[in-house]
Amino acid sequence: MAQLARLTEQGFIDLVASLAAPARRSRRGAAFRPILGIGDDAAVLPPTGRLRLLMTTDLLTEGVHFRTAYAPGFLLGRKALAVNLSDIAAMGGLPRAFVFSVGFPRGTRPDYAAAVARGLADQARRHGVQMAGGDTCAARALFLNVALLGVVEPGREVRRSGARPGDGLYVTGRLGGSAAGLRLLRRGARPGRTGLSPHAAAAIRAHLDPAPRALAGRLLGATGLARAMIDLSDGLAQDLPRLCAASGAGAVVEESAVPVAPAATAVLGRGPGLRASLVGGEDYELLFAARPEHELQIRRLALRMRLPMSRIGQVVPRRQGVRLLTRTGRYLPFEDLRGGFRHFRAGA
Amino acid sequence: MAQLARLTEQGFIDLVASLAAPARRSRRGAAFRPILGIGDDAAVLPPTGRLRLLMTTDLLTEGVHFRTAYAPGFLLGRKALAVNLSDIAAMGGLPRAFVFSVGFPRGTRPDYAAAVARGLADQARRHGVQMAGGDTCAARALFLNVALLGVVEPGREVRRSGARPGDGLYVTGRLGGSAAGLRLLRRGARPGRTGLSPHAAAAIRAHLDPAPRALAGRLLGATGLARAMIDLSDGLAQDLPRLCAASGAGAVVEESAVPVAPAATAVLGRGPGLRASLVGGEDYELLFAARPEHELQIRRLALRMRLPMSRIGQVVPRRQGVRLLTRTGRYLPFEDLRGGFRHFRAGA
């Protein structure tokens, strides 16, 4: 790691740890300050009492999930934690502590590595999660792995399996922005460059710097409004069938009810924008099912949070499959969209 | 991942999960069966009650920590978990659940990947730890990351910082075998090949398949016998100064008391064997400090466990530094050995 000389492996870990230390009075992380942080064989964290533990891990790899050519180190560090925070949110949990591993290629510039550390630490502070350890190593391609621990009240974890026929299907936020941003990045657009339209900038931000729906997931879980939930990492066309399979149910989604991100429409055009909202992936919004009688409460929660929660369709018996009702009144099986997903990604 | 076609990414995760599922009546893991295993956004694990949490992560990378040319997939999988189990042992904790991430190069043979999965699962079953999630991805070089969660009674965690002047310094097992094994592997020896002497086979096993001192660490912690503890991953010459620095103390180690693995002496010769026991690394034995009045209890524990626990020296005031008392009566600062460490590794 010749280029990393000034930022040694231990230096990287220490940098994340020092920057990620929460403010003395953290709203959410206060109760979970580590008893012993980094520097020993393992971190020591306080007992969870009666709370259940949640554990998840996600890996970002150069050339597969991102390219250093277009992903600033700071945003890469933030995203590595964000995708894990999104998983804990989708369980209705509260994130608590994480460990990371980073592999740096020999040519990595120290300022890029330092930016990754700052991004990780920034996201940790925002969400009140503790940095509990790290490992770094030389690697042939840059990768960044995070394992995140969370907690949830017993029985309040929101699984994928709780959806029942008759339930409404909802998504938070708007979809397709991330896919539109990826398209722009692959065509040479860069974040922060002057001359980007507001829509282009929003799309790029959606892709490089997704905001995990931590509070929404927590509230949807704690209130019991979400009976089943999943985060949209691979896109509606893949993640809705997963939720349905786990629940032993089918679904009908109304194409006209899917909330397409304005940036997706502006960047890609109306048709491809809609397509991106179905098959694009990496939006990290939440998809959840709720009893029909909770419709009003969900509207109120959305208003209070100033976060769109769109009813996109409903859960149906399994034998009806998972289908999209198009604007022209046709029913398309979601499997057929997945083919389109691969096509779309290849062309993006 | 063309070559991995028959073992898809999800297939790898499912394979580890199915093989790692503990027997119905596991001695140690029974109380920590997951409430929800893999297949959702996060695993759900039972509350820890009043127990504190331990969290650690360790990464093995091809070309840095191992070479696929000499590391069978099964042993690589076992080692990835072993090095983390060693960290939890060194805290006096009980390992509970882990997540992993694997990056496979495109050319990885499916049977190699499957062997890695079997090795991970085998080690998990042996130690009663739960597989709580995984992520796999294409990568340019094979890497395997594990994040491990453990528990420990409040205040019973054994830190590096508890050593005080007058304490005895002990190591479990014997040292230097792993370095001897690495030397043989780099010179073309392969595990399981016929014609290996028993010592050569033992050395290779020590390097490729280290046995974490899980039970010893647990007992040394729970009994309160170990006041400070660290696992020997980088070798005595690096890890003892770490323990001393954390404790604000110095140490004198008697060269003649260091337990050199017979395999190290046989493979490397007497002088280099001793050297390997000091600077070799990757033995994953435990180094701990104990009050002088506990000497007898430690002897008894070692006898009962049939595990050598050698008193190699004692803790002294910080100003005396960390020194080796050689057989010829000279005092060598440990820093001077570290130079030798680099030299040794380069030559190995």
**A-chain residues near B157 (CB < 8 A):** 35-36, 44
| B221 and B327 belong to one structural domain | yes
Does residue B292 contact residue B204 with C-beta atoms inside 8 Å?
no
**For residue B282, is pLDDT > 50?**
yes
Using alpha carbons, list the distances in angstroms from residue A332 to A175, A221, A237, A253: 19, 31, 11, 10
Does residue A204 contact residue A247 with C-beta atoms inside 8 Å?
no
| A134 and A209 belong to one structural domain | no
| B326 and B184 belong to one structural domain | yes
Does residue B67 contact residue B112 with C-beta atoms inside 8 Å?
no
In a domain, A161, yes or no: no
**A-chain residues near B137 (CB < 8 A):** 59, 61, 64-65, 143
Nearest to A101 among B55, B59, B87 (CB): B59
User: What is the number of helices (H) and of strands (E) in chain A?
Assistant: 11, 12
Cβ contacts of B296-300, under 8 Å, gap ≥ 24: B297/B223, B297/B225, B298/B168, B298/B170, B298/B225
Of the candidates A15, A49, A21, the residue with the CA atom closest to the CA atom of residue A37? A21
Q: Residue B297: beta bridge partners?
A: none
**For residue A271, is pLDDT > 80?**
yes
Cα(A91)–Cα(B44) distance, integer angstroms: 9
Confidence of residue A341 (pLDDT cuts 50, 70, 90): very low
To the nearest whole number, what is the mean pLDDT of chain B?
A: 91
Q: Output helix, strand, coil percentages for chain B, rounded to the nearest 5.
A: 40, 25, 35
Paired tokens of B320 = 């005396």
Nearest to A53 among B39, B45, B101 (CB): B45
How many CB contacts within 8 angstroms connect chain A with chain B? 208
Which CATH number do you get for residue B68?
3.30.1330.10
Q: What is the pLDDT of residues B218-274, one digit of tens each?
A: 999 999 999 999 999 999 999 999 999 999 999 999 999 999 999 999 999 999 999
Find where tokens 């034998």 sit: A319
| A196 and A143 belong to one structural domain | no
- Residue A23: per-residue pLDDT: 52
In a domain, A147, yes or no: yes
| A131 and A263 belong to one structural domain | no
Percent pLDDT > 90 in chain B is 79
Give the neighbor-by-neighbor strand order of the sheet with B249-254. Answer: B228-231, B286-290, B168-172, B309-317, B249-254, B322-325, B331-333
Which CATH number do you get for residue B205?
3.90.650.10
**For residue B346, is pLDDT > 90?**
no
Q: Do A135 and B157 touch (CB under 8 A)?
A: no
The mean-pLDDT minimum among A205-214, B82-91, B328-337 falls in B328-337
Does residue B113 contact residue B16 with C-beta atoms inside 8 Å?
no
Q: What is the pLDDT of residues B12-34, one digit of tens each?
A: 888 888 888 765 444 544 456 78
Nearest to A41 among B49, B132, B230 (CB): B230
Nearest to A35 among B39, B45, B52 (CB): B52
**For residue B99, is pLDDT > 80?**
yes
Nearest to B47 among A48, A64, A136 (CB): A48
Question: Residue A100's CB: how many other CB atoms inside 10 A?
Answer: 30
In a domain, B157, yes or no: no
**For residue A346, is pLDDT > 80?**
no
Q: What is the pLDDT of residues A309-328, one digit of tens each?
A: 999 999 999 999 999 999 99
Radius of gyration of chain A from its Cα atoms, rounded to whole angstroms: 20
Q: What is the pLDDT of residues B65-96, one digit of tens each?
A: 899 999 999 999 999 999 999 999 999 999 99
Phi-psi region of B118 (alpha: psi -120 to 50; beta: other; left: phi over 0): alpha
| A193 and A230 belong to one structural domain | yes
**For residue B152, is pLDDT > 90?**
yes
Using alpha carbons, list the distances in angstroms from residue A78 to A68, A122, A215: 14, 7, 17
Give the number of residues written for chain B.
Answer: 348
| B130 and B177 belong to one structural domain | no
Nearest to B40 among A99, A103, A160 (CB): A160
Question: Residue B192's CB: how many other CB atoms inside 10 A?
Answer: 10
Q: Do A64 and B132 touch (CB under 8 A)?
A: no
**A-chain residues near B136 (CB < 8 A):** 59
Using alpha carbons, list the distances in angstroms from residue A329 to A166, A316, B109: 20, 17, 47
Q: What is the pLDDT of residues A273-297, one digit of tens each?
A: 999 999 999 999 999 999 999 999 9
The one-character DSSP state at B166 is T
Residue A147: exposure state from Cβ atoms within 10 A (0-12, 13-18, ≥19): buried
Cα(A27)–Cα(B101) distance, integer angstroms: 31
* Chosen from A12, A40, A120 to mutate, greatest number of chain B CBs within 10 A: A40
Residue in A closest to B36 by C-alpha: A159
Cβ neighbours for A186, distance < 8 A, ≥ 6 positions apart = A70, A348
**A-chain residues near B134 (CB < 8 A):** 57
**For residue B324, is pLDDT > 50?**
yes
Torsional sign, CA B171, B172, B173, B178? negative
Beta strand B249-254 with B322-325: parallel, antiparallel or unpaired? parallel
Confidence of residue A117 (pLDDT cuts 50, 70, 90): very high
pLDDT (average), residues A327-344? 73
| B178 and B145 belong to one structural domain | no
Distance from CA of B274 to the nearest CA of A (A): 26
Question: Of B121, B152, B183, at which residue does a domain stop?
Answer: B152
Q: Do B41 and A87 touch (CB under 8 A)?
A: yes
Cβ neighbours for A288, distance < 8 A, ≥ 6 positions apart = A158, A169, A170, A171, A220, A225, A226, A227, A228, A229, A230
**For residue B283, is pLDDT > 70?**
yes
For chain B, say whether A139 makes contact (Cβ under 8 Å): yes
- Residue B194: per-residue pLDDT: 85
Task: Return the ∠ at Cα A60 (arms to A59 and A66), rounded to 5°.
Answer: 165
| B205 and B270 belong to one structural domain | yes
For chain A, say whether B247 makes contact (Cβ under 8 Å): no
Interface of A with B in 72-111 (CB under 8 A): 86-88, 90-91, 93, 97, 99-101, 103
Percent pLDDT > 70 in chain B is 92
Paired tokens of A305 = 């949070």
Does residue A104 contact residue A115 with C-beta atoms inside 8 Å?
no
| B194 and B286 belong to one structural domain | yes
**For residue B57, is pLDDT > 60?**
yes
| B137 and B200 belong to one structural domain | no
- Residue A6: per-residue pLDDT: 56
pLDDT (average), residues A23-42? 68
Cα(B121)–Cα(B131) distance, integer angstroms: 8
Cα(A237)–Cα(A256) distance, integer angstroms: 15
Cα(B211)–Cα(B188) distance, integer angstroms: 23
Cα(B214)–Cα(B92) distance, integer angstroms: 8
For chain A, say whether B46 makes contact (Cβ under 8 Å): yes
Give the number of residues written for chain A.
Answer: 348
**B-chain residues near A50 (CB < 8 A):** 47, 49
| B148 and B233 belong to one structural domain | no
Helix (H, G, I), strand (E, B) or coil at B181: helix
User: What's at B260, amino acid-wise?
Assistant: V
**A-chain residues near B152 (CB < 8 A):** 44
Domain count, chain A: 2
- Residue A7: per-residue pLDDT: 66
In terms of residue numbers, what domain contains B41? Answer: 2-152
Q: Do A160 and B41 touch (CB under 8 A)?
A: yes
**For residue B54, is pLDDT > 60?**
yes
pLDDT (average), residues B275-284? 95
* Chosen from A4, A35, A57, A106 to mutate, greatest number of chain B CBs within 10 A: A57
- Residue A29: per-residue pLDDT: 45
- Residue A10: per-residue pLDDT: 77
Residue in A closest to B1 by C-alpha: A64
Does residue B163 contact residue B61 with C-beta atoms inside 8 Å?
no
Residue in A closest to B134 by C-alpha: A57
Distance from CA of A229 to the nearest CA of B (A): 9
ipTM for this prediction? 0.89
Q: How many Cα atoms sit within 13 Å of A218 on the Cβ side? A: 15
- Residue B23: per-residue pLDDT: 52
Beta strand B331-333 with B143-152: parallel, antiparallel or unpaired? unpaired
Interface of A with B in 292-331 (CB under 8 A): none
Cβ neighbours for A321, distance < 8 A, ≥ 6 positions apart = A250, A333, A334
The mean-pLDDT minimum among A186-190, A324-328, A338-342, B333-337 falls in A338-342
